[in-house]
Amino acid sequence: AVQLTQSPSSLSASVGDRVTIACRASQGISSALAWYQQNPGKPPKLLISDASSLESGVPSRFSGSGSGTDFTLTISSLQPEDFATYYCQQFDTYPLTFGGGTKVEI
């Protein structure tokens, strides 16, 4: 199975900060990667698919980049509603897998 390693597992930031979350795949997955945001007690929300395609309605401060094994989610200017846990997910190979998550805290 493709293993996804997210770093850091948690981070502390302030409103207005630029935040970068990394996701590394154990083997090449082309651009078959998605990013999700999850708030406590809620289901995840799709932010980005195909490594860099922003979903409709997602603020433009979110961006994704990368291909192959190394991927990045960037929040250009952190807003209060962005404090949440973020997950990457690969869909190149079955079984589909998620990264361990990155908790963004104040």
Residues 6+ apart with CB under 8 A from 76: 18, 61, 62, 63
Q: Given candidates 45, 54, 58, 68, which one binds another protein under the rule CB under 8 A? A: 45
> How long is the chain?
106
Which one of 10-18, 20-28, 59-67, 97-105 is the stretch in contact with another protein (CB under 8 A)? 97-105
Instruction: Rank residues 78 and 85 by Cβ distance to another protein and give the closer one.
Output: 85
Question: Residue 52's closest CA among 80, 23, 77, 85?
Answer: 23
List interacting residues with another protein (CB under 8 A). Answer: 1, 32, 34, 36, 38, 43-46, 49-50, 55, 87, 89, 91, 94-101
